[in-house]
């Protein structure tokens, strides 16, 4: 099937809008999703989704857009979130080529480990710049609960993203 240029542009516009909307919800309305003072990392869920569905390149660009928006909105040093999300997008994209990633538990596990790694990487960058903040306590108190909560909402975000982007899996007989 030949895809027209307008279809491709529309797909990229939907993708860009979805990432910006996720970052917007995460930074501007975290109390809407807050549970026991923990908010999920929706951008990391989308980074893992695009790593599974479209590969590491789309996941890395998702990390750039979502991380850039978060760095600007939260008023942190430009590039902290971007670096963490891009590295996670690349690693998750490479892992999905070697991993059977269609099972819901595998997807949630990937989001958990990606979220935890992002929390550890971000906290480590902050610790290098400001050692008085500490390292271990923020990882245990912040990174682990956020990673767990993000893994819990993974099926819902993946279902919404599948509906928006019409990602279909091919059954073994070639039936779509």
Q: Where are the domains of the chain?
A: 5-28+36-165
CA torsion sign, 38 to 28 to 163 to 61?
negative
This prediction's pTM: 0.86
Residue 35 has φ and ψ, to the nearest 5°, of: -140, 115
Going by C-alpha positions, the residue among 96, 95, 135, 100 that lies closest to residue 119 is: 135
Band (5; pLDDT cuts 50, 70, 90): low
- What tens digit of pLDDT does each residue of 132-175 get? 888 888 889 889 999 999 999 999 999 988 888 876 544 344 44
Count of Cβ atoms closer than 10 Å to residue 158 Cβ: 21
> In DSSP terms, which residues pair with 35 in a beta bridge?
38
- What tens digit of pLDDT does each residue of 113-130 get? 999 999 999 999 989 988
Q: What is the largest CA-CA distance in the chain?
A: 59
Going by C-alpha positions, the residue among 52, 54, 48, 43 that lies closest to residue 21 is: 43
Identify the architecture of domain 5-28+36-165 in CATH.
Answer: Orthogonal Bundle (1.10)
């Amino acid at each position: 099937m030949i895809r027209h240029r307008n279809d491709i542009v529309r797909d990229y516009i939907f993708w860009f809008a979805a990432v910006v909307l996720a970052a917007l919800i995460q930074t501007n309305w975290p109390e809407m999703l807050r549970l026991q003072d923990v908010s999920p990392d929706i951008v990391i869920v989308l980074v893992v989704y695009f790593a599974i569905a479209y590969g590491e390149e789309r996941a890395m660009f998702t990390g750039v857009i979502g991380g850039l928006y978060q760095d600007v909105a939260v008023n942190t040093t430009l590039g902290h979130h971007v670096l963490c999300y891009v590295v996670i997008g690349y690693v998750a994209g490479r892992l999905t080529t070697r991993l059977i990633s269609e099972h819901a538990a595998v997807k949630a596990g990937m989001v958990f480990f990606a979220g935890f790694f992002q929390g550890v990487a971000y906290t480590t960058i902050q610790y290098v710049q400001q050692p008085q903040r500490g390292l271990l306590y923020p990882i245990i108190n912040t990174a682990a609960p956020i990673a767990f909560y993000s893994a819990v909402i993974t099926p819902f975000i993946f279902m919404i993203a599948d509906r928006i982007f019409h990602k279909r899996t091919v059954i073994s007989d070639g039936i779509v």
